[in-house]
Structure 1
Amino acid sequence: MAPCTGSAPEPFVPHQRQRYRRKVHRCLDALADMLTSSRFCTEERRIGLEIELNIVDETLRPSMANSVVLEKLNDPSFTIELSQHNLELNVPPRELSDAAPMQLERELHTSLANANKKAQDAGCDLALIGILPTLESEHFQKKWISNNPRYVSLNDQIVAVRGEQLALDIDGASLPGRQPEALRTYAESILPEAACTSLQLHRQVRPDEFAAYWNSAQCLAGVQLAIGANSPFLLGNALWSETRIPLFLQATDTRTEELRNQGVRPRVWFGERWITSVLDLFDENVRYFPGLIAEFDDEDPLTTLDEGNTPGLAELRTHNGTIWRWNRPVYDVVHGVPHLRVENRVLPAGPTVSDMVANAMFFYGAQHSLAHQERPLWTNMSFASAEENFFAAAKSGMDAKLYWPGLDWTAPDELVLQELLPLAREGLRAYGVTDRASEHYLGIIERRCLTRQNGASWQRDAVRALEDRGYDRNAALRQMFERYLELMNSGEPVHNWPIPR
């Protein structure tokens, strides 16, 4: 969830909804005009990252101290997030070329090490993990929303639109040799969304290539989850390999059961079709989803365009920020020049910095190659198959079966080793990344596939091993998490992590 600043927006009153809808439509018309008049930045094609972090106390439980830690950090790269136990690191955008991946890893190590030192001054530690295994239901109480009026307003709007408690209902994939587990509970706020900490990858693209890059990202989403899953536990239950996926959907769901039965679309959304333009996505946002935040800008975007200036499209961007696509379109303006980005929101945070950089390089390289294929992959693959891959991978991780044209149904590790690693190498070479850097990070992905061990499988195997030694579930989770943090801080990629015996 993007950080918010400023005063809280007021709740919608009836006449504001019509006014807001008209303003969003004017923003959409302005965007359509801009797409036909070549107003966008086309020279720079930079990448960027956002990393969401958990703050834990000495008992490894969530520490509601983000404002204290942020004050000690005194670094504009870090911002608070929805819950008081979250922070976000915004990595400056850059060109992906030469040895940039290695420089990125060095910068991340330095930033996170400095941040953790400041957190320790406040009696806390930072954790890179998709979902904290030590979370409890009490951490979802509204009082733990970060000290930002807009977060409170967003929570209140979603809860009011839903009109009832938020239901969390997730059937799990069993630990090896165990019975399946399930979660059935309710939450009074949207804070279960804050349990989901992610690695968000941005790729700046030209308007004419946006559709190819977005479609490519959708094709890759299931594979990313299968090999990068890191969120297998929630509230003491062994659930999906990437439990963030159903949890995020349910935590921000404004639909009642009746609306779900009618087929009303959720605000956390994979999508429903391949696109031919970025306008397709913004148009869907406007047609399908009502506004949540009543905030207006004085600018008339069409007048701004007529005057030869660049509109901010404030209402369209705010609205886009309340629709959580797993691959989200982004319109932004830098130094008066507009650009477009594909924001990939699929991956969890962690387990290590090197794993996250490897995940990013695999994605950027494979996405580039797929986007530039002479015959696009999505012409041979239904959108429904891409969505099915996404949810199958989220639930079963490395054990999922994924559909891929030419291979039919296959294991994720085999798909990566046979098809996607060569494409990722080609893509990184096209960016100008050195062979040394490419082989280093794609080698991490290769060895993860060969060992079939990612963050989720390591956590699950570690908890099972500890329970076999007589630990109850809570004790096993804490022991596992303590060892996880040690290995995370060692920097050793997760495929090399030993299972506690």
Structure 2
Amino acid sequence: MTDDLAERVESVLAVDAGQFEAQAAADAEVIKRELGDGTFDNHQSIIGLEYEFYAVSNAQRYANGDEPTYALTRVPRRMLELMGFEKELGLHNAEMTTSPQPLSAHGLRAQEAEVRARLQAALDCASAEGMRLVSDGMWTIPPTGETAEEYLTSSVSDDGVRLATNMSDSMRYHAMANSESAPESFTLEAPHVSLDADTVMPEALITSIQPHYQVSHAVDLPFFFNYALRAAGPLLALGVNSPFFPADLYDDDASTEDILEDGWEEHRIAVFETVLNSGGHEKVTFPEDLDTIEDAVERVAVDSTLVPMSVERGDRFDDEFATLRRKHGTYWRWVRPVFDGGSRSSANARIEFRPIAGQPTVRDSVAFQAAFAGLMERLPRQDHPVIDLPWEDAEENFYAAMRDGLDADLSWIDEDGDEVGGVDMYQDLLVHARDGLRLAGCSEEEANYYLEPLRKRVETGVTPAAWKRARVREHLDDGAEFEDALHAMQREYVEQQSETLLEGSFSDWF
């Protein structure tokens, strides 16, 4: 298997970079032409969701007396096939992608029902193998008998090809460690954490949800996109869920108080940025505003290529720009445009919203999907004044939210044109998300149902990251060492989720 994988990586590395870039540029012109012809236009907005999980051991193995370990575990590839889930970066990952639905009351119900139905089936499948899928922002208990550092940095060299031991056979990620432009090491950096690896495997620490919003008229995508950038910071602050790394990744000289005092609320952002931006590449960034739809296409075309990969072209519509689609696979931005469609009738221009970590429950995840869709439906159509918030302030909002969650001092302009923050900001944000859902056909009761989990966070000031911090502090106050406190919190997280993932919400936890 390793030999076969190494051969495939070598075949990727043999692709001529100049030809790849030239074909990507030609594909960009195809998309621009089709945009001009209206091919990517649709009669209504469409929504979708990518939902990532990691697997933990749910077998009857116990540590510290009578508590299950819930240690990270690898998912057999045959099990992913049985689940109908997709592989992600790490062998412990599984990803669900929902079927696109119209943004409407029926469409939102269909999204939520599909997630629950497929996830229940996946949980049953995993349980039979002594596993459980966890919806979270970052895992903190490494596999039994391994440290997190060992799991993330383990690799082998097969005839000069470097392969991460615990990475799925995702060619682009394996090839990144072997390309001519590969850095000497891929370095994860965060407060009191620095990890060097010879592959991008440290990125497998994190999991996310990614709502999609497909615009009706492709030419309008930049206007919607720029609103999405301004909503990114506040929504990120509501969703923070990765305040801790596995204990063994912290620097030896970092005290428990250092970790608690200096740590951020959403380290997932730093993991993705520092690992994949290693070596001076700027692949993961908060993107700048868009002026035209052609600019959106061109940004993908001129983005630096880490790994040129061969592309097979067939008879599908999107095969006409297959190389650009391949290049888009490493166009990592926290908000990014997508041009897709297997046929002209299904061609679409959409926005992927990527800042939100995996959430404690399905209802909380769908709340973010609904909030983002509602904001996209309402803010541009109202010409909401927050579009006048300078891009630099939107960027600062994003990283402030990463650091401090709901305690961050964020900038917002409300519907009256006044600069507001805090509760007033979220009041304006959630009112317009509700109104957007009402425009899409939801009743007031339905719109409030979808957004209630986020309102609860504003009212209580409790995010998943805050909950985790409080649990760790509680165990420390009871005399636990940091690693024990961290693991106790993580086990409690999994146990709470086992009772609420499908039918409850995060607010049931406190």
Counterpart of 2:32? Answer: 32
Deviations 1:407-454 (A, max 9, x none): 54623x44112x111101110011112222211122221111100111
- Give, in whole Å, the separation in 2 of the partners of 1:414 and 1:398: 13
Taking the aligned partners of 2:306 and 2:320, their CA distance within structure 1 comes to 18
Q: Does 1:270 align with 2:286?
A: yes
Shift of 1:103: 4.1
Structure 2 residue aligned with 1:286: 301
Q: CA deviation at 1:399?
A: 0.8
Residue in 1 that maps onto 2:11 = 10
Q: 2:267 aligns with which of 243, 258, 262?
A: 243
Contact 2:243 2:468 (8 Å CA) reproduced? yes
Match of 1:332 in 2: 340
Match of 1:435 among 435, 439, 444: 444
| 1:69 aligned residue (79, 91, 105) | 79
Correspondent of 1:410 among 417, 421, 426: 421
Q: How far apart in 2 are the matches of 1:270 and 1:147?
A: 27
Change (3 A) 1:310 1:155: closer
Between the aligned partners of 1:370 and 1:195, the Cα distance in structure 2 is 34
Match of 2:487 in 1: 478
Partner of 1:402, secondary structure, is coil
1:266 aligned counterpart, secondary structure: coil
Q: Is the 8 A contact 2:334 2:353 kept in 1?
A: yes
Which residue pairs with 1:57 in the alignment? 57
Decide whether the 8 Å contact of 1:350 with 1:356 is kept in 2.
yes
Alpha-carbon distance in structure 2 between the residues aligned to 1:332 and 1:11: 23
Change (3 A) 1:149 1:313: same
Deviates more, 1:478-487 or 1:279-288: 279-288
Match of 2:187 in 1: 167
1:229: how far off? Answer: 0.8
**Could you say which residue in structure 2 is the equivalent of 1:397?**
405
Question: C-alpha separation between the residues in 2 aligned to 1:333 and 1:102?
Answer: 24
Checking the alignment, whether the CA contact within 8 Å between 2:52 and 2:96 is kept in structure 1 is: yes
Correspondence for 1:176: none
Q: Deviations over 1:196-231 (max 9, x none)?
A: 100011111121221122111111111111011111
- In structure 1, what residue type is equivalent to 2:52? E
In the alignment, which of 82, 105, 122 is matched to residue 115 of structure 1?
122
Could you tell me how far apart the structure 1 residues matched to 2:509 and 2:294 are?
44
The one-letter code matched in structure 1 to 2:291 is T
The equivalent residue for 2:212 is: 202
Q: Distance in 2 between matches of 1:226 and 1:149?
A: 31
Q: Distance in 1 between matches of 2:282 and 2:102?
A: 35
Q: Does 1:383 align with 2:383?
A: no
Which amino acid is the alignment partner of residue 224 of structure 1? L
The SS at the match of 1:439 is helix
Shift of 1:277: 2.5
1:448 and 1:494 in contact (8 A); partners too: no
Look up the match of 1:315. 323
Deviation at residue 152 of structure 1 after TM alignment: 5.2
Contact kept in structure 1, 2:303 and 2:331, CA below 8 Å: no
Equivalent residue in structure 1 for 2:139, among 127, 132, 135 = 132
Match of 2:174 in 1: 153
How far the C-alpha of 1:148 sits from its partner, in A, is 1.8
1:275 partner SS:
coil
Question: Which residue in 1 is equivalent to 2:102?
Answer: 95
**CA 1:104–1:333 in 2, change beyond 3 Å: closer, same or farther?**
closer
Partner of residue 179, structure 1: none
- 1:86-121 Cα distance to aligned partner (Å, 9 max, x none): 000111111121244344333322321221111111
Comparing 229-238 and 325-334, the one that deviates more: 229-238
Q: Distance in 2 between matches of 1:131 and 1:343?
A: 21
Rounded to whole Å, the distance in 2 between the matches of 1:46 and 1:450 is 30
Matching of residue 229 in structure 1 with residue 244 in structure 2: no
State which drifts further: 218-227 or 29-38: 29-38
Matched to 2:333, the amino acid is: R
Supply the AA of the counterpart residue of 2:348: H
> Residues 17 and 291 of structure 1 are in contact (CA less than 8 Å); yes or no, is this contact kept in structure 2?
no
Paired with 2:132 and 2:319, the residues of 1 have a C-alpha distance of: 42
Whether the 8 Å CA contact 1:56–1:63 is kept in 2: the answer is yes
CA contact (8 A) 1:9 1:295 kept: no
The runs of 5 or more residues in structure 2 that have no matched partner are 1-6, 59-68, 143-147, 156-163, 251-258
Measured in 1, the distance between the counterparts of 2:137 and 2:110 equals: 24
2:221 counterpart SS class: helix
**CA distance in structure 2 between the partners assigned to 1:328 and 1:9 by the alignment:** 30
Residue 290 of structure 1, CA deviation: 2.5
Is the aligned partner of 1:192 residue 2:208? no
Alpha-carbon spacing, 1:102–1:285, altered in 2? closer, same or farther (3 Å): closer
Q: Is the 8 A contact 1:351 1:488 kept in 2?
A: yes
| Residues 200 and 275 in structure 2, CA contact (< 8 A), matched pair in contact too | yes
Q: Note closer, same or farther for the CA distance 1:190–1:311 as it changes in structure 2 (3 Å cut).
A: closer
Distance 1:328 1:374, change over 3 A: closer
CA contact (8 A) 2:242 2:265 kept: yes
Question: What SS does the aligned partner of 1:48 have?
Answer: strand
Distance in 2, Cα, partners of 1:288 & 1:250: 18
**Distance in 2, Cα, partners of 1:32 & 1:376:** 30
> CA separation in 1, counterparts of 2:319 and 2:110?
35
